[in-house]
Protein backbone atom coordinates (compact mmCIF):
# COMPACT_ATOMS: atom_id res chain seq x y z
CA UNK A 1 0.00 0.00 0.00
CA UNK A 2 1.24 3.49 -0.85
CA UNK A 3 1.02 5.38 2.45
CA UNK A 4 3.06 8.54 3.06
CA UNK A 5 3.99 9.83 6.53
CA UNK A 6 1.52 9.59 9.41
CA UNK A 7 -1.97 8.57 8.29
CA UNK A 8 -4.69 10.59 10.02
CA UNK A 9 -8.34 9.57 10.15
CA UNK A 10 -11.29 10.50 12.40
CA UNK A 11 -12.20 8.01 15.18
CA UNK A 12 -15.48 7.17 13.45
CA UNK A 13 -13.65 6.03 10.28
CA UNK A 14 -11.95 3.14 12.10
CA UNK A 15 -13.82 0.50 10.07
CA UNK A 16 -13.40 2.26 6.71
CA UNK A 17 -11.05 1.20 3.94
CA UNK A 18 -8.21 3.78 3.92
CA UNK A 19 -6.84 4.73 0.49
CA UNK A 20 -4.25 7.48 0.04
CA UNK A 21 -5.16 9.93 -2.73
CA UNK A 22 -3.23 12.97 -1.49
CA UNK A 23 -0.50 13.63 1.04
CA UNK A 24 -0.05 16.86 2.96
CA UNK A 25 -2.23 19.96 2.92
CA UNK A 26 -2.85 22.51 0.16
CA UNK A 27 -3.17 25.30 2.74
CA UNK A 28 -0.41 24.45 5.23
CA UNK A 29 -0.64 27.86 6.94
CA UNK A 30 -2.65 27.23 10.13
CA UNK A 31 -0.48 28.46 13.00
CA UNK A 32 -1.37 25.63 15.38
CA UNK A 33 -1.00 22.69 12.97
CA UNK A 34 1.96 20.30 13.00
CA UNK A 35 0.19 17.22 11.59
CA UNK A 36 2.10 17.16 8.30
CA UNK A 37 5.47 18.48 9.44
CA UNK A 38 6.96 15.03 8.88
CA UNK A 39 6.52 15.37 5.11
CA UNK A 40 9.26 16.84 2.87
CA UNK A 41 6.59 18.67 0.83
CA UNK A 42 3.38 20.60 1.51
CA UNK A 43 1.00 18.73 -0.79
CA UNK A 44 1.09 15.94 -3.34
CA UNK A 45 -1.51 14.08 -5.39
CA UNK A 46 -1.12 10.33 -5.55
CA UNK A 47 -0.71 8.88 -9.06
CA UNK A 48 -3.85 7.16 -10.29
CA UNK A 49 -1.86 3.96 -10.88
CA UNK A 50 -0.84 3.91 -7.19
CA UNK A 51 -4.47 4.29 -6.08
CA UNK A 52 -5.62 1.48 -8.38
CA UNK A 53 -2.76 -0.76 -7.23
CA UNK A 54 -3.72 -0.13 -3.59
CA UNK A 55 -7.38 -0.92 -4.23
CA UNK A 56 -6.42 -4.10 -6.06
CA UNK A 57 -4.13 -5.10 -3.19
CA UNK A 58 -6.82 -4.30 -0.60
CA UNK A 59 -9.39 -6.37 -2.50
CA UNK A 60 -6.98 -9.31 -2.47
CA UNK A 61 -6.40 -8.92 1.27
CA UNK A 62 -10.14 -8.80 1.96
CA UNK A 63 -10.56 -12.03 0.00
CA UNK A 64 -7.62 -13.70 1.79
CA UNK A 65 -8.97 -12.70 5.23
CA UNK A 66 -12.47 -13.79 4.21
CA UNK A 67 -13.76 -10.41 5.38
CA UNK A 68 -17.04 -8.82 4.37
CA UNK A 69 -16.74 -6.46 1.43
CA UNK A 70 -15.91 -2.83 2.26
CA UNK A 71 -18.97 -0.58 2.22
CA UNK A 72 -17.18 2.67 3.02
CA UNK A 73 -13.87 4.11 1.84
CA UNK A 74 -12.05 7.01 3.47
CA UNK A 75 -9.58 8.89 1.28
CA UNK A 76 -6.53 9.95 3.26
CA UNK A 77 -4.65 13.25 3.17
CA UNK A 78 -5.38 16.61 4.79
CA UNK A 79 -7.98 17.71 2.24
CA UNK A 80 -8.59 15.34 -0.70
CA UNK A 81 -11.86 17.13 -1.50
CA UNK A 82 -9.72 19.89 -3.05
CA UNK A 83 -9.21 17.60 -6.06
CA UNK A 84 -11.13 18.52 -9.19
CA UNK A 85 -14.43 16.80 -9.80
CA UNK A 86 -13.15 14.66 -12.67
CA UNK A 87 -10.32 13.32 -10.49
CA UNK A 88 -12.73 12.51 -7.67
CA UNK A 89 -15.02 10.77 -10.17
CA UNK A 90 -12.10 8.68 -11.44
CA UNK A 91 -11.29 7.67 -7.86
CA UNK A 92 -14.93 6.66 -7.34
CA UNK A 93 -14.80 4.54 -10.51
CA UNK A 94 -11.70 2.72 -9.21
CA UNK A 95 -13.29 2.09 -5.81
CA UNK A 96 -16.47 0.65 -7.32
CA UNK A 97 -14.43 -1.47 -9.74
CA UNK A 98 -12.61 -3.29 -6.94
CA UNK A 99 -15.26 -2.94 -4.21
CA UNK A 100 -18.67 -3.09 -5.95
CA UNK A 101 -20.49 -3.13 -2.61
CA UNK A 102 -18.94 0.20 -1.54
CA UNK A 103 -21.72 2.65 -0.65
CA UNK A 104 -20.02 5.87 0.44
CA UNK A 105 -16.72 7.70 0.15
CA UNK A 106 -15.50 10.12 2.81
CA UNK A 107 -12.47 12.34 3.30
CA UNK A 108 -11.21 15.47 5.02
CA UNK A 109 -12.18 18.76 3.42
CA UNK A 110 -11.44 22.42 3.94
CA UNK A 111 -14.29 24.92 3.65
CA UNK A 112 -12.43 26.45 0.71
CA UNK A 113 -12.40 23.09 -1.13
CA UNK A 114 -16.20 23.13 -1.31
CA UNK A 115 -16.24 26.60 -2.84
CA UNK A 116 -14.16 25.34 -5.79
CA UNK A 117 -17.05 23.14 -6.97
CA UNK A 118 -20.31 24.09 -8.64
CA UNK A 119 -23.66 22.98 -7.27
CA UNK A 120 -23.92 20.55 -10.19
CA UNK A 121 -20.50 19.06 -9.40
CA UNK A 122 -21.42 18.59 -5.74
CA UNK A 123 -24.63 16.81 -6.74
CA UNK A 124 -22.74 14.55 -9.16
CA UNK A 125 -20.19 13.66 -6.48
CA UNK A 126 -22.97 12.77 -4.06
CA UNK A 127 -24.53 10.60 -6.76
CA UNK A 128 -21.39 8.44 -6.99
CA UNK A 129 -21.06 8.05 -3.22
CA UNK A 130 -19.24 11.06 -1.74
CA UNK A 131 -20.83 11.60 1.66
CA UNK A 132 -19.76 12.18 5.25
CA UNK A 133 -17.01 14.77 4.76
CA UNK A 134 -14.96 15.69 7.83
CA UNK A 135 -14.36 19.44 8.04
CA UNK A 136 -12.07 21.09 10.59
CA UNK A 137 -14.00 24.34 10.96
CA UNK A 138 -12.14 24.87 14.29
CA UNK A 139 -14.38 27.77 15.44
CA UNK A 140 -16.97 30.36 14.47
CA UNK A 141 -14.85 33.12 16.05
CA UNK A 142 -13.69 35.29 13.14
CA UNK A 143 -10.92 36.92 15.16
CA UNK A 144 -9.44 33.50 15.91
CA UNK A 145 -9.90 32.32 12.32
CA UNK A 146 -7.99 35.36 11.06
CA UNK A 147 -5.21 35.08 13.63
CA UNK A 148 -4.71 31.36 12.97
CA UNK A 149 -4.63 31.85 9.17
CA UNK A 150 -7.49 29.45 8.47
CA UNK A 151 -8.26 31.11 5.16
CA UNK A 152 -12.02 31.55 5.63
CA UNK A 153 -14.54 33.19 7.99
CA UNK A 154 -17.66 31.98 9.79
CA UNK A 155 -19.93 33.24 6.99
CA UNK A 156 -18.04 30.98 4.58
CA UNK A 157 -18.71 27.95 6.80
CA UNK A 158 -22.45 28.63 6.69
CA UNK A 159 -22.52 29.38 2.96
CA UNK A 160 -20.54 26.34 1.84
CA UNK A 161 -22.20 23.87 4.22
CA UNK A 162 -25.62 25.01 3.05
CA UNK A 163 -24.44 24.03 -0.43
CA UNK A 164 -23.49 20.59 0.92
CA UNK A 165 -26.94 20.35 2.55
CA UNK A 166 -28.58 21.16 -0.78
CA UNK A 167 -26.45 18.52 -2.55
CA UNK A 168 -27.32 15.89 0.07
CA UNK A 169 -23.71 15.53 1.23
CA UNK A 170 -23.53 15.06 4.99
CA UNK A 171 -20.59 16.36 7.02
CA UNK A 172 -18.90 16.18 10.39
CA UNK A 173 -17.28 19.15 12.14
CA UNK A 174 -14.09 19.30 14.19
CA UNK A 175 -14.09 22.08 16.79
CA UNK A 176 -10.74 23.11 18.25
CA UNK A 177 -11.23 23.90 21.94
CA UNK A 178 -8.92 26.71 23.03
CA UNK A 179 -8.36 28.28 19.62
CA UNK A 180 -9.76 31.65 20.73
CA UNK A 181 -7.13 32.04 23.46
CA UNK A 182 -7.26 32.90 27.15
CA UNK A 183 -10.38 34.74 28.24
CA UNK A 184 -12.16 34.25 24.92
CA UNK A 185 -13.06 30.56 24.97
CA UNK A 186 -16.68 30.80 26.08
CA UNK A 187 -17.35 33.57 23.56
CA UNK A 188 -15.74 31.46 20.83
CA UNK A 189 -17.96 28.53 21.81
CA UNK A 190 -21.10 30.68 21.54
CA UNK A 191 -20.05 31.98 18.13
CA UNK A 192 -19.39 28.42 16.96
CA UNK A 193 -22.79 27.26 18.16
CA UNK A 194 -24.37 30.16 16.25
CA UNK A 195 -22.72 28.86 13.07
CA UNK A 196 -23.66 25.21 13.70
CA UNK A 197 -27.26 26.08 14.54
CA UNK A 198 -27.75 27.50 11.02
CA UNK A 199 -26.72 24.30 9.23
CA UNK A 200 -26.80 20.52 9.69
CA UNK A 201 -23.54 18.93 10.85
CA UNK A 202 -24.06 15.26 11.61
CA UNK A 203 -21.48 15.55 14.39
CA UNK A 204 -19.67 18.30 16.26
CA UNK A 205 -16.44 16.76 17.53
CA UNK A 206 -14.26 18.65 19.99
CA UNK A 207 -10.49 18.35 20.04
CA UNK A 208 -8.30 20.16 22.57
CA UNK A 209 -5.72 22.58 21.22
CA UNK A 210 -2.30 21.11 22.00
CA UNK A 211 0.66 23.33 21.18
CA UNK A 212 3.91 21.79 19.99
CA UNK A 213 7.29 23.58 19.74
CA UNK A 214 7.46 23.16 15.97
CA UNK A 215 4.23 25.12 15.42
CA UNK A 216 4.03 28.78 14.42
CA UNK A 217 1.64 29.30 17.33
CA UNK A 218 4.39 28.32 19.77
CA UNK A 219 6.49 31.17 18.34
CA UNK A 220 3.55 33.59 18.71
CA UNK A 221 3.24 32.62 22.37
CA UNK A 222 6.96 33.12 22.97
CA UNK A 223 6.82 36.65 21.59
CA UNK A 224 3.74 37.47 23.67
CA UNK A 225 1.25 37.73 20.82
CA UNK A 226 -1.15 35.06 22.11
CA UNK A 227 -1.99 33.45 25.48
CA UNK A 228 -3.20 29.87 25.87
CA UNK A 229 -6.33 29.07 27.85
CA UNK A 230 -6.06 27.11 31.07
CA UNK A 231 -7.18 23.48 30.87
CA UNK A 232 -10.19 24.15 33.13
CA UNK A 233 -11.17 27.05 30.90
CA UNK A 234 -11.19 24.68 27.93
CA UNK A 235 -13.73 22.44 29.66
CA UNK A 236 -15.87 25.45 30.57
CA UNK A 237 -15.71 26.36 26.88
CA UNK A 238 -16.94 22.91 25.85
CA UNK A 239 -19.79 23.22 28.35
CA UNK A 240 -20.92 26.47 26.73
CA UNK A 241 -20.71 24.89 23.28
CA UNK A 242 -22.85 21.90 24.26
CA UNK A 243 -25.36 24.10 26.08
CA UNK A 244 -25.63 26.51 23.11
CA UNK A 245 -26.22 23.90 20.40
CA UNK A 246 -29.92 23.77 19.52
CA UNK A 247 -29.80 21.48 16.47
CA UNK A 248 -30.17 17.70 16.48
CA UNK A 249 -26.62 16.38 16.17
CA UNK A 250 -24.03 14.22 17.88
CA UNK A 251 -21.45 15.75 20.20
CA UNK A 252 -18.20 13.89 20.75
CA UNK A 253 -14.79 14.43 22.32
CA UNK A 254 -13.04 11.16 21.57
CA UNK A 255 -9.58 11.99 20.21
CA UNK A 256 -6.34 11.61 22.14
CA UNK A 257 -6.17 15.37 22.79
CA UNK A 258 -9.12 15.02 25.19
CA UNK A 259 -8.23 13.92 28.71
CA UNK A 260 -11.86 12.81 29.17
CA UNK A 261 -13.96 11.10 26.51
CA UNK A 262 -17.43 12.52 25.94
CA UNK A 263 -20.20 11.34 23.62
CA UNK A 264 -23.90 11.99 23.33
CA UNK A 265 -26.84 12.74 21.07
CA UNK A 266 -28.32 16.22 21.15
CA UNK A 267 -30.75 17.33 22.39
CA UNK A 268 -31.64 14.19 24.34
CA UNK A 269 -28.23 13.73 26.04
CA UNK A 270 -27.51 17.43 26.65
CA UNK A 271 -28.25 17.36 30.39
CA UNK A 272 -26.04 14.30 30.92
CA UNK A 273 -23.16 15.84 28.95
CA UNK A 274 -23.42 19.05 30.98
CA UNK A 275 -23.44 17.06 34.24
CA UNK A 276 -20.34 15.17 33.09
CA UNK A 277 -18.61 18.45 32.19
CA UNK A 278 -19.57 20.03 35.52
CA UNK A 279 -18.09 17.04 37.32
CA UNK A 280 -14.82 17.39 35.38
CA UNK A 281 -14.65 21.13 36.07
CA UNK A 282 -15.41 20.74 39.77
CA UNK A 283 -13.34 17.66 40.61
CA UNK A 284 -10.29 17.78 38.33
CA UNK A 285 -7.38 20.08 39.08
CA UNK A 286 -5.63 22.30 36.57
CA UNK A 287 -2.40 20.48 37.45
CA UNK A 288 -3.83 17.06 36.51
CA UNK A 289 -5.15 18.32 33.20
CA UNK A 290 -1.97 20.24 32.39
CA UNK A 291 0.09 17.13 33.16
CA UNK A 292 -1.99 15.21 30.60
CA UNK A 293 -1.47 17.97 28.01
CA UNK A 294 2.29 18.30 28.49
CA UNK A 295 2.84 14.53 28.33
CA UNK A 296 0.77 14.02 25.19
CA UNK A 297 3.47 12.92 22.70
CA UNK A 298 1.30 13.32 19.63
CA UNK A 299 -2.28 13.82 18.57
* pLDDT score recorded for residue 67: 65
* DSSP secondary structure of 173-235: EEEEETTT-TT-HHHHHHHHHHHHTTS--SEEEEEE----TTSHHHHHHHTTS--PPPHHHHH
* pLDDT score recorded for residue 68: 65
Q: For residues 26 and 43, is the Cβ–Cβ distance under 8 A?
A: yes
Each residue's pLDDT tens digit, 101-121: 999 999 999 999 999 999 999
Q: Parallel, antiparallel, or unpaired: how do β-strands 104-109 and 72-76 relate?
A: parallel
Domains and CATH numbers, the chain: 1-131 (3.30.750.210), 146-292 (no CATH)
Each residue's pLDDT tens digit, 121-167: 999 999 999 999 999 999 999 999 999 999 999 999 999 999 999 99
Distance CA 11, CA 254 (A): 7
Distance CA 56, CA 225 (A): 50
Each residue's pLDDT tens digit, 63-88: 766 666 789 999 999 999 999 999 99
* pLDDT score recorded for residue 46: 96
* pLDDT score recorded for residue 248: 98
* pLDDT score recorded for residue 36: 93
Is 61's pLDDT higher than 90?
no
* pLDDT score recorded for residue 66: 61
User: How much of the chain exceeds pLDDT 90, in percent?
Assistant: 94
Mean per-residue pLDDT for 58-63? 87
Select from 164, 162, 104, 112 the least CA-distant residue to 137: 112
Residue 130 main-chain phi, psi, to 5 deg: -70, 120
- 0.85 surpassed by pTM: yes
Number of H helices, E strands in the chain: 11, 10
Q: E-strand spans in 29-116?
A: 43-45, 72-76, 104-109
Is 271's pLDDT higher than 70?
yes
Each residue's pLDDT tens digit, 216-260: 999 999 999 999 999 999 999 999 999 999 999 999 999 999 999
Amino acid sequence: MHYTGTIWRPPYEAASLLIEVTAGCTHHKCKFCTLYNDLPFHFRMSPLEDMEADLKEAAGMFKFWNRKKATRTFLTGANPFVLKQDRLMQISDFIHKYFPANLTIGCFSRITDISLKTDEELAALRNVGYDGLTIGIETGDNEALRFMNKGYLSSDIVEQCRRLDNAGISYYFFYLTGISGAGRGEMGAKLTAEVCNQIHPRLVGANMLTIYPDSELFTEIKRGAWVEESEIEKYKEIRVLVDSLTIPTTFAALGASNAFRLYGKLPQDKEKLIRDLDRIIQTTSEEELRDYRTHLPHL
